[in-house]
Amino acid sequence: MKHILIDTDAGVDDALAIIFALASPELAVEGITTVGGNIPVEPATRNVFTILDTLFPAVYPLVAEGAAAPLGRELETAAHVHGADGLGNISELRLADGSPKYPRTMHDLMDMTAADFIIEEAYRHGRNLTIIALGPLTNIAEAIRTSPTAMKGVGEIIIMGGAFRVYGNTSPVAEFNMYVDPEAAETVIGFDVPKTIVPLDVTEQVILLRSELEARFAANPSPVLEFARDVSGFYMDFHAHSDGFDGCYMHDPTTIALAINPSLARTVPAEVHVERQGEFTRGMTVADLRPERANRYHPNAQVCVEIDAKACLDLFFSKIAKSSQ
């Protein structure tokens, strides 16, 4: 069993990733930390509790709230992609009696910042801890700056972010998480600890079609699949309008799939840097992935370059189906 800590900005694909992780016995979710990204950090924290209350895990992970803004920048959010509440506007859904279908709840937060909680977990689990970063890397960068000794002891950081051989989703060259806080991304990627980067190059190959989700829900109308359908509708509408297909990219769930089974992707070692100053290239992830040039650089991360998309989706559905039984 792999001990993981999930750092999230609690948007739609984050929600799908969290239910995926909690439904997977291969993973022990030790904690969840929130960061400003898709939405501001306070509603992101509320969303984590909404997700947990929907899944009702046997053991609720500890939750700590983190950075409200990037390192030295104003926060830019993505409500147009994830909805005003960050979860596809599910806060507007009502039951027959008029009560909220997904009421906003708050449980007890850790009495420490997300960065301090990450450091505490790094000391507690050491090499047995995998940190899975689903949002901007602000919290993890703050943890590294505060206690590099603790953070050098973790087993791995798996980062959803970046775009290398494909267009970005926030600018022509930048993926959202890297764009929001490029300083934090450069800090984390440059830190001497094992890292795997899961970029748009592979996550945009893992597509959940609305028709498939509807068919699976019709065959197994469980609360978890109903939540997945409810939370992804707005997100799929965005992709239908913006990208021309009736479904959504599974960015964050793909990252969870690789935490469970790394063999689903092929990676290459690379020296990765994040552009922080460019007028048109802010957040661009820069690396030479040509194998014949590998000996010219000093690799600081493994970058996913190929993926078994069907196996990722099959794994996602197999886990959430079991959680519904």
pLDDT tens for each residue of the chain, 325 residues long = 999 999 999 999 999 999 999 999 999 999 999 999 999 999 999 999 999 998 878 788 999 999 999 999 999 999 999 999 999 999 999 999 999 999 887 788 999 999 999 999 999 999 999 999 999 999 999 999 999 999 999 999 999 999 999 999 999 999 999 999 999 999 999 999 999 999 999 999 999 999 999 999 999 899 999 999 999 999 999 999 999 999 999 999 999 999 999 999 999 999 999 999 999 999 999 999 988 887 899 999 999 999 999 999 999 999 998 765 5
Cα gap 39→241, rounded to integer Å: 21
Domain residues of the chain, as ranges? Answer: 2-323
Active site residues: 251
CATH domain 2-323 topology: Inosine-uridine Nucleoside N-ribohydrolase; Chain A (3.90.245)
149 burial class (0-12, 13-18, 19+ CB within 10 angstroms)?
A: exposed
Quote the tokens at residue 148. 């590099």
User: Would you call 314 helix, strand, or coil by DSSP?
Assistant: helix
Q: Are 253 and 131 in contact (CB under 8 A)?
A: no
| Beta pairing class for 2-8 and 27-34 | parallel
